[in-house]
Structure 1
Amino acid sequence: MLLSDSLPATNPYFLGYVLLFAAAAAACFVSIPRARAIDHEGTRQGLVGLLLTSGFWSVAHLGFLLAPTVELKLVFYHVGLFVGLSTVGPWLYFCSAYTGRNLHKSVPIRRAAIGVFVLVSLVKVTNPLHHRYFQSEVLLTPFPHISIVSQELHWLAMGFAYALSIVGYFMLYELFRQVGHDTTPLLGLVGLTGLPIVLDALATVSPTILNITYTPLGVAAFAVGVLFVFVDDFQTVQLTGEQDDPVIVLDDDGLVRDFNLQARELFPALEVGEPIESVDPRLGKSLEETEEDIIFEHEATGGFRYYHLGIRPFTTDRSRLGRSVTLTDVTEREEYRQELEQQNDRLEQFASMVSHDLRNPLTVAQGRVAFLREEEGDNEHLEATARALDRMEVLIGDVLALARQGQPIAERERVTLSAVARDAWEVIESDAATLTVESDGRFMADATRLQQLLENLFRNSVEHGGDHIEITLGVLDDGFFVADDGTGIPVEDRESVLESGFSTSSDGTGLGLAIVTEIVSAHGWEIRVTGSDEGGARFEIIGISFEE
């Protein structure tokens, strides 16, 4: 059946509908490049999807209006049904991403959405069989057209779609109320997307309003508003609202541009347009610092809290707007660092006391023994005294090392195992032993303590292994090992050998391997004692993550 002859180009209603949906399609498609320039991936993907589906929905409406036959009009109407239903997904995807949620990333939710889409689409495509979704008839008012008479399944599907859309509105509303920025323009734009519902309702009672969905008009207005008119507000609100940490946005003059509720709770005096110095002078001073790692101390109820200031430029695709300041609570880390500094200070005091109060008298005693040996010559008592004093000197050094090596590690650096081993071997190198490095690796560690660890393991092999020792250093999947071909360690002693005070030699302090254990623990690693393939001792340090 032909209707084209009954569609005069001068009919104002007909022209109005054509121009409206043509403008909506153009607005959606023209806005896509601007949407693709949005930095936030999820927001960008959701908004581009919404514009694409809404644009094609408008095109389908144009085809419905302009098609010359009833059959072709119904084809375009069916296309519009499918495309229109598909806009719900990008809308919710956009709302979830823009508001900082992760619903759009949920695999179960995605699968459920696809299932619902397929089910409703089947109901629509089979409408010619059951006519429970819509029926059609030809009307002449306000111009000759196909009038769609919605049936119960249509209202059920539309109600479900609108219910899902309302979830998106709720997410946006919740975000808007969490920021200090004036979000009235954005609320108005979001409201425009829902305004066509009024036209949808009027179409059921007024013969001059066509019974087609007007949602693409609202989406087009929303797109033009957020991407061309209020783009700065659109991106500022997202930046502050999606963060769980306090966020303050400043312009280039240091005036507060926006903030979220978390920032307002931290700084009750926050107001848009106020200098940050008037909000909190110490915060303003901290923001003037040039260091990358800025820690801000904030006095709160119950004591001080410490925040790391994350400062980065805030820009849109058009211009630089200022900078955003994110305050990340690092109180536990900072208190740990301060406690570590206090421990180190106490350790230095202890080391100073040991050096002064023990080593000085020890040096005097060693000097007296040396003097007596020169005056009276060697005798059994002086020899025994000299050996005891030497042993005491070694013991003092080991006690200091044990105390220092067990302290928590504040900073690590990238080390190469073979390089540190060479430095350690230069200290230990003996004619009675040789070192072979079988394999190598790079990882993060305290280089000084790692060298001390290797020195002690090498020294243990040299002193307890036998006449001539072959020492081997190699890499494991998650660590490294030091092995020798000496006499080895009895199975029953392999656990106790790492304990402080254990020694098989009367001259040993029993602290060498205990120091190794402390260094391993300070790094968060583990140590195992076993036997080597050659029958000697083998120490495995595990729990290390090597770099590729």
Structure 2
Amino acid sequence: MAVLPASSLFLLYVGVFLLAALACFVSVTRLHHITDADTRRGLWALLLTSGGWAAAHVGFLVSPTTALKLGWYTLGLVLGLAAVGAWLYFCSAYTGRTYHRNPTYRRLAIAVYVALVAVKITNPLHHEYFTTTAVATPFPHLSVYTGALHWTAMGLSYALAFVGYFMLLELFTQIDLDTRALFGLVGITGLPVVLDLVGYITPYLIDITYEPLGVAVFAVGVAFIYIDQFEALQLAAERDTPVIALDADNYIRDTNRAARTLFPELDGAERLSLETTLPRIADCLDSDTTILKIQQEGSTRYYRVTETPYGTVTSGLGRTIVLTDVTDRERYREELERQNERLEQFASLVSHDLRNPLSVATGRFDLLREEMALSEENDNVAAVERALDRMDDLIDQILTLAREGQPVEQWDAVLLSSIANKSWEMVETDTAELRVDDDMTFKADPVRVQRLLENLFRNALDHGAPDVTVTVGALPDRPGFYVSDDGPGIPEEDRDSVFEPEYTTRKEGTGFGLAIVAEMVTAHGWTIQVAESETGGARFEILGVESME
């Protein structure tokens, strides 16, 4: 068997590790194709630390002095340990776990890393991590003999690395897309362990860590060859979600079991076009309607169809179609639409079938009063007039309550101070005063917000003194704004009831004012609660109003 000359073998070692370093560094430029930020960040750290690790090997081999060789070797130890942390971060993020975000795990990882780095860089003091000697075979180099601390750290590193392997293995076995290519790539990252053992027990390879070579192959495979499968597997991690993977030409490349169960025509449809196999999905993607209605097992189910390109839209790597079951949401939306239709019918009934007879009754009463020369001071006349006026007010309030519950469709920028002053001008305020603190700009329906504030202002004026002070401002600690006054306030036991229709503490009140406020708040997707103001009055807090600033 032919044996390479020492000089050629030396150049081969240098060339292989240099190529691994360059492969890792060049692969970093491709990571913008990965859409998940945490996965991209983890792989970025893995490539940089592994590339630096391989480059440190090159420095160790080519440095002319022992001191420089030891410096490069120690740097490699530090970067190699950092690569383990980057590998765990990447595996956690890619498999959809949250270990990499857990503050406790982060602090523990940093503590362990700092402790092990301290052991490595202080080796010249204790020599328990490694010792060196110059040898001439298979070519002149500095041979490293590892000590007990090295094997302890190495055992911990490989144990942690296998945790990452387990996370990937679990993901690949749970997902029924074709995982063979990525299985192979992940397996390659572990093969250098064999080279490590050969180098340790035989003279055929030098005793040096070969792991950067496996990471380089993995990096090139993911970044340049299998990035579409790489993201398709991540998107398909939720096994109950149908996933269809397409190539750059819009042909079906792969599907998972959930997709084939939902669409039996996908079975054996690889390399067929989406338009031919599933024209309804293709039409859904080309239209503004992203909801697909499907009859399934005797019932109607709804799926939101979304597409995610591999990397950037312009990269031309293909895309993944994901169908998310939104049946409950769509059924709720349809029920809301039916309720809104019933509200419209009710409003029409109130507006026409009740207001018209009321108008007739009011007109006939006025004629009867004139014919009989009834005085307005007559108790019976006054009582009838109050009853007719109250009926008219109630019809107005019921109509408003029915219509203000409709979801907001027109959103515009609203300045709190401006809308508050405008609303204040529409209310009879006497000697009352309005103050605006902590202004904010938010998106809302300006007309409804104005009516909302008018009702809250009237509530403060109706229950407070003529010189009541009303304050409006942004909430300091939560998204939203408040309306408070220095009036008598609302008893705590009544605060859950004030928004119910017909709740009132005034004999002449309709009880719909605050109920209408609650409907307008709900129509915006906000919430409202009652508290006590700093002066003991009422404070209404409208929550969930996101500021535009």
Selected match of 2:527 from 521, 524, 528: 524
Is residue 204 of structure 1 aligned with residue 207 of structure 2?
no
Tell me which residue corresponds to 1:481. 483
Task: Decide whether the 8 Å contact of 2:250 with 2:273 is kept in 1.
Answer: yes
Task: Decide whether the 8 Å contact of 2:185 with 2:218 is kept in 1.
Answer: yes
> Over alpha carbons, which structure has the higher Rg?
1
Selected match of 1:368 from 357, 364, 367: 364
Task: Decide whether the 8 Å contact of 2:292 with 2:305 is kept in 1.
Answer: yes
Write the deviation string for residues 100-148 of structure 1: whole angstroms up to 9, x where unpaired. 3332233322332233333334444455566554444554443344444
Change (3 A) 1:474 1:9: same
Change (3 A) 1:377 1:180: same
What amino acid maps onto 2:215 in structure 1?
A: V
Alpha-carbon distance in structure 1 between the residues aligned to 2:488 and 2:133: 97
Change (3 A) 1:265 1:296: same
Tell me which residue corresponds to 1:4. none
Tell me which residue corresponds to 1:541. 540
Task: Decide whether the 8 Å contact of 1:246 with 1:260 is kept in 2.
Answer: yes
Shift of 1:208: 2.0
Alpha-carbon distance in structure 1 between the residues aligned to 2:319 and 2:150: 49
Task: Decide whether the 8 Å contact of 2:483 with 2:539 is kept in 1.
Answer: yes
Alpha-carbon distance in structure 2 between the residues aligned to 1:464 and 1:202: 89
What amino acid maps onto 2:529 in structure 1?
A: E
Q: Secondary structure at 2:206's aligned position in 1?
A: coil
Shift of 1:88: 1.4
Write the deviation string for residues 163-188 of structure 1: whole angstroms up to 9, x where unpaired. 22222223333344455654433332
Tell me which residue corresponds to 2:27. 31
Give the root-mean-square deviation of aligned CA atoms.
Answer: 4.2
Is residue 510 of structure 1 aligned with residue 506 of structure 2?
no
Tell me which residue corresponds to 1:91. 87
Shift of 1:525: 0.7
Change (3 A) 1:243 1:384: same
Q: How many residues get paired?
A: 525
Change (3 A) 1:438 1:136: closer
Q: Which runs of 5+ in 2 are unaligned?
A: 476-480
Alpha-carbon distance in structure 2 between the residues aligned to 1:460 and 1:47: 59
Alpha-carbon distance in structure 1 between the residues aligned to 2:204 and 2:489: 99
Task: Decide whether the 8 Å contact of 2:310 with 2:317 is kept in 1.
Answer: yes
Alpha-carbon distance in structure 2 between the residues aligned to 1:307 and 1:208: 60
Is residue 213 of structure 1 aligned with residue 197 of structure 2?
no
Task: Decide whether the 8 Å contact of 1:9 with 1:15 is kept in 2.
Answer: no
Tell me which residue corresponds to 2:15. 19
Alpha-carbon distance in structure 1 between the residues aligned to 2:286 and 2:224: 34
Task: Decide whether the 8 Å contact of 2:175 with 2:237 is kept in 1.
Answer: yes
TM-score normalized with structure 2 length? 0.78
Question: Which sits farther off after the overlay, 99-108 or 488-497?
Answer: 488-497
Alpha-carbon distance in structure 1 between the residues aligned to 2:416 and 2:79: 61
Task: Decide whether the 8 Å contact of 1:340 with 1:408 is kept in 2.
Answer: no
What amino acid maps onto 2:435 in structure 1?
A: E
Write the deviation string for residues 163-217 of structure 1: whole angstroms up to 9, x where unpaired. 2222222333334445565443333232222221122222233222222221122
Q: Secondary structure at 2:201's aligned position in 1?
A: coil
Alpha-carbon distance in structure 2 between the residues aligned to 1:133 and 1:463: 82
Task: Decide whether the 8 Å contact of 1:29 with 1:51 is kept in 2.
Answer: yes
Where do 1:87-486 residues align within 5 Å?
87-125=83-121, 127=123, 132-177=128-173, 179=175, 181-241=177-237, 246-251=242-247, 253-259=249-255, 263=259, 267=263, 270=266, 272-276=270-274, 280-291=278-289, 294-300=290-296, 303-316=299-312, 319-378=315-374, 380=378, 385-402=384-401, 404-405=403-404, 407=405, 409=407, 413=411, 414-417=413-416, 419-421=418-420, 424=423, 428=427, 433=430, 437-439=434-436, 441-445=440-444, 447-457=446-456, 469=466, 473-478=470-475, 479-481=481-483
Q: Which runs of 5+ in 1 are unaligned?
A: 1-7
TM-score normalized with structure 1 length? 0.78
Shift of 1:19: 2.8
Write the deviation string for residues 451-488 of structure 1: whole angstroms up to 9, x where unpaired. 4444445556777879xx5575531343343659xxx6
Change (3 A) 1:118 1:361: closer
